[in-house]
Amino acid sequence: MCGIIGYIGQREALPILLEGLRNLEYRGYDSAGIAVCDGTTIRIAKRAGKVAQLAAEVEHGYFPGTLGIGHTRWATHGEPTDINAHPHTDATGRIVLIHNGIVENYAVLKTQLEREGYSFRSDTDTEVLAVFIGMLYERLGDFELAVRTALQEVEGTFGLAILSRDEPDMLIAARRGSPIVVGIGDNEYLVASDASAIVAHTRRVVYLRDDEIAILHRNGYVTKTIGDEFIAPEIHELDFELEQIQRGNFPHFMLKEIFEQPSTFRDSIRGRLLIEQGNAKLGGLTPVAAKLRATRRIILTGCGTSWHSALVGEYIIEQLARIPVEVEYASELRYRNPVIYPDDIVIGISQSGETIDTLAALREAKLKGATILGIVNVVGSTIARETDAGVYLHAGPEIGVASTKAFTSQLAVLSLLGLYLGRQRDLSVGEGFHLAYELSRIPDSIARILDTAPAIEQIAHEYADRSNFLYLGRGVNFPVALEGALKLKEISYIHAEGYPAAEMKHGPIALIDENMPVVFIATRDEIYEKIISNVQEVKARHGRIIAIATEGDRRISELADHVIYVPETHPLLTPILTTIPLQLLAYYIAVARGCDVDKPRNLAKSVTVE
């Protein structure tokens, strides 16, 4: 969602802030702003639009100072206008802040402040917070105390970076619900919503926990609770390189990340496959091994693409381990007072580890006594820290808003988990060996599919002008149909729907005519004959058929207008392969339509608000 960057140190703040904002832009980006303090004055610039527009304006302006904050906004309260962009100030202009999250009681606070005679320029909840802190500062005469006092009154979520004109050697950061990481340099500190904004400057970081604040001076810092209890900071080392958040020679991060999948998949299974024993070793689950053996139910939860991987996980785990699995949208699970048993295992799947609905669903499950686990990509993220145990994806930073490599790594981890749970139960060494061996071959198979990218690009050009797409799959490839449709929607703005193929005749078949492209995931497996019948139903109605099929399948080429082949693998692993052509198809269609692939409209990478 919104991105936050802050700097206090010896160097000019402006270039550091702008660079940080560029690295954060993928999170959310309908407006951007900066504030820089030179010791006596705080200069602010903010505007609707992309960071590049803000940068073009301020790079030639006068923004001296070694203390500053910057923000990219994803609108919640109020439209993306110059006025609603952050930073926001209090009534005097002394207090300047940027905010990620939602102040839920902003309307009550605003009314109280209006009664006191304060007025507001913007429609945002953030300005209310700025004015509230300003009022308390006026009364209490102490910047830090004013911030802490205000935050105790706030309901909702915040990741904050705050300056005061009266305190040119102080930057305050605070967190509840929205991530804040403090970067520790030599006589300088950075604050960010995401480590990618600061990795160029330091690898040593402290992650704030909920209701904690950091008070940063040029020569030192403290962390405490908003209730004023000191906390010994825990320093972590960042585990990724700057190059990983750069595009290299690729035109878009999304394409780079699609092409990284042979190596990111390998990283996800590295050291975790016990091929000879037909098993998997997941060190992060050791503390809960006994609970995993005893459980009678697993609930998988997540949002967006992570929810799709949970659906695939259901097929994998149920088939390998015969444990009942339920999959639920985190946003539903958190509010519907679910029936949870103490021996349930509830697993949150999340690339970012910060998605607020997933986090809240896990908290709800924990409250009800379940063991909660995380399958997460971002090391040190909130879900990773709050869960009882978990497995990291090790896919490296994912910058493209449309998730690609994180999805295939989630499927890698779910396959390993299924294998492990299966071997704890009835899965034989032989069956385990087959799956483990096939998992080890997946990276090479992904690479072979990527070699067919030019042919997929051609198909994309043929269909880029269509207004609708249908994606159909069955069994473990039904969720791939959903994911393929989601990818296309997200980045090309074409309406697309995914369905279990057999459901087509209960509704979507009415849509089929010669203008409707239908993407079938039709790999050779037990239900191949069934899906061939569905293909024939579409053909009879003159729909255009793009089939994803197993290498060597000649039969389907007689029915389909286009066939994209994927290598043969274990049937449960086919989604990892069939999803690759769908990522490429969506990508090339979006590019052909002139869409901004890495920054699709209205979307954000990490959704830290409800």
Instruction: Say what the alpha-carbon torsion angle 205, 201, 164, 156 is, to the nearest 10 degrees.
Output: -50
Among 352, 387, 404, 578, binds ligand G6P (CB under 6 A): 352
Question: Interaction with ligand G6P in 354-383: which residues (CB under 6 A)?
Answer: 355, 358
Residues 233-272 that bind ligand G6P (CB under 6 A): none
Rounding to the nearest 10 degrees, give the CA dihedral for residues 178, 183, 189, 194: -40
Give the chain's end-to-end CA distance (angstroms, integer). 11
Per CB under 6 A, the list member of 36, 128, 401, 586 interacting with ligand G6P is 401
Nearer to ligand G6P, 401 or 449 (CB): 401
- To the nearest whole angstrom, how small is the minimum distance from the Cβ of residue 408 to ligand G6P? 13
Between residues 72 and 306, which has the closer beta carbon with respect to ligand G6P? 306
595 is catalytic: no
**Which of residues 127 and 257 has its CB atom nearest to ligand G6P in the complex?**
257
Q: Which of 2, 37, 303, 595 is catalytic?
A: 2
Selected binder of ligand G6P within 16, 436, 607, 609 (CB under 6 A): 607
- Is 605 a known active-site residue? yes
Q: Alpha-carbon distance 185 to 10, whole Å?
A: 11
Instruction: Answer yes or no whether residue 350 interacts with ligand G6P by CB under 6 A.
Output: yes
Return the residues of window 490-519 that contact ligand G6P according to CB under 6 A.
Answer: none
Q: Is 605 in the site for ligand G6P (CB under 6 A)?
A: yes
606 lies in the site for ligand G6P, by CB under 6 A: yes
Q: Which is nearer to ligand G6P, 352 or 387 (CB)?
A: 352
Q: Give me the least distance between CB of 59 and ligand G6P, in Å please.
A: 30
CA separation for the pair 191, 500 (Å, rounded): 46
Instruction: Pick the closer one to ligand G6P by CB: 402 or 564.
Output: 402
Strand duo 67-73 + 88-89: pairing: unpaired
Nearest residue to 577 via CA among 418, 369, 415 = 415
Least Å distance, CB 104 to ligand G6P, is: 21
List b or e across 555-568, with b for residues whose CB sees 16 or more CB atoms inside 10 angstroms.
ebeebbbbbbbbbb
Q: Is 603 in the site for ligand G6P (CB under 6 A)?
A: yes
Which residues are registered as beta bridge partners of 386? none
80-119 as b/e: b if 16+ CB within 10 A: ebebbbbbbbbbeebbbbbbbbbbeebeebbeebeeeebe
Specify the residue for token string 């970012």.
352
Cα 589 to Cα 517: distance, rounded to the nearest angstrom? 13
Smallest distance, ligand G6P to C-beta of residue 606, A: 6
Binding mask 266-305 for ligand G6P (x = CB under 6 A): ------------------------------------xxxx
Q: Is 351 in the site for ligand G6P (CB under 6 A)?
A: yes
Q: How far is the CB of 145 from ligand G6P (least distance, A)?
A: 36
Nearer to ligand G6P, 118 or 329 (CB): 329
Q: Does 178 help bind ligand G6P (rule: CB under 6 A)?
A: no
Name 29's Cβ contacts closer than 8 Å, sequence gap at least 6.
3, 50, 51, 72, 73, 74, 599
Q: How far is the CB of 596 from ligand G6P (least distance, A)?
A: 14
Stretch that binds ligand G6P, among 3-11, 98-106, 344-352, 550-558 (CB under 6 A): 344-352
* Cα angle, residue 99 at apex, residues 93 and 101 outer, rounded to 5°: 145
d(CA 459, CA 462): 5
Q: How far apart are CA 610 and CA 605, in angstroms?
A: 14
Binding characters for ligand G6P, 465-484, by CB under 6 A (x = yes): --------------------
**Site map (CB under 6 A) of ligand G6P, residues 416-435, x = contact:** --------------------
Among 126, 193, 306, 569, binds ligand G6P (CB under 6 A): 306
Q: How far is the CB of 175 from ligand G6P (least distance, A)?
A: 18
**Size of interface with ligand G6P, in residues (CB under 6 A):** 17
DSSP 472-533: EE-GGGHHHHHHHHHHHHHHH--EEEEEEGGGGGGTGGGG-STT-EEEEEE-SSTTHHHHHH
Q: Could you tell me the smallest distance in angstroms from the CB atom of residue 138 to ligand G6P? A: 40
Q: Work out the burial of residue 369: count CB atoms within 10 Å of its CB; fewer than 13 is exposed, 13-18 middle, 19 or more buried.
A: exposed
Residues marked active site are found at: 2, 605
Q: State the residues that interact with ligand G6P by CB under 6 A.
A: 302-306, 350-352, 355, 358, 401-403, 603, 605-607
